[in-house]
């Protein structure tokens, strides 16, 4: 990866770190390409079952690098969107570890994640209207699907910052940690996820994400197309055998 995006893999979890602390991890073209490249590689790796996305230096991300934007450095990757992720999140579960600010595009990166762990001091917001912009990288689309409509409207229209405690109350943040412990909290959760069967994880995520738009008539047909191969997999047999033999399963992703 590049200097702007660091990747570390251990215990089935890949930690992807935005590494521009001098700019509060503002997302530029290099960051977007780095995240996209990391996901392209890691989604194909059998030794990775879950991800953690975080930022270096006590910040998650202050959003798009506006200085870069003025010079034509737009942090968009074809096919993946802003930050290399917002239009095409990975098929494997993704946990956000948020310290400091997750604002504008930074908050949109969080909204691209499946689970959110935040420091008690973390702040979230979509301040784009204060800069003459719109949260077009999923912010105004995803936010009202995650929290109540009127609260989403308030956040998006005022552009104000909101504490992690408020988003925890609304169900957008899963867990709150002590300051400086968001990454460890996210890793704990990601390791728990990664201990499960990879094919089952990917299918479960796919159904939850895609079923929001399914009609009643097509729900179980579409779900079946996704999950039936899992029931016929080697891992399904391994899971049953491990249970019967009272041992830990050894997943192959097959």
User: How does strand 115-119 pair with strand 175-177?
Assistant: parallel
Report the alpha-carbon distance of residue 96 to residue 114 in Å, rounded.
8
Residues tagged active-site: 108, 128
């Amino acid at each position: 990866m590049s200097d702007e995006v660091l990747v570390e893999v251990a215990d089935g979890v890949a930690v992807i770190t935005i590494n521009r602390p001098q700019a509060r991890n503002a997302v530029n073209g290099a960051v977007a390409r780095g995240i996209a490249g990391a996901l392209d590689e890691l989604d194909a790796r059998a030794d990775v079952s879950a991800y953690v996305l975080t930022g270096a230096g006590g910040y998650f991300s202050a959003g798009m690098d506006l200085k870069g934007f003025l010079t034509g450095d737009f942090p968009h990757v074809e096919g993946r969107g802003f930050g290399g992720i917002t239009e095409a999140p990975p098929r494997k579960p993704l946990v956000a570890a948020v310290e400091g600010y997750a604002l504008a595009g930074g908050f949109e990166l969080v909204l691209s994640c499946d689970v959110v762990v935040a420091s008690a001091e973390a702040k979230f917001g979509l301040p784009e209207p204060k800069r003459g912009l719109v949260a077009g990288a999923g912010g105004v689309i995803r936010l009202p699907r995650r929290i109540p409509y009127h609260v989403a409207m308030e956040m998006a229209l005022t552009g104000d910052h909101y504490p992690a405690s408020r988003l925890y109350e609304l169900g957008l943040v899963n867990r709150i940690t002590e300051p400086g412990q968001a990454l460890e909290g996210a890793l704990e959760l990601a390791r728990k996820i990664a201990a499960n069967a990879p094919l089952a994880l990917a299918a479960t995520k796919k159904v939850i994400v895609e079923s929001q738009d399914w009609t009643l008539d097509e729900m179980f047909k579409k779900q079946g197309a996704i999950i039936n191969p899992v029931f016929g997999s080697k891992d399904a047999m391994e899971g049953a055998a491990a249970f019967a033999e009272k041992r830990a399963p050894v997943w192959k992703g097959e």
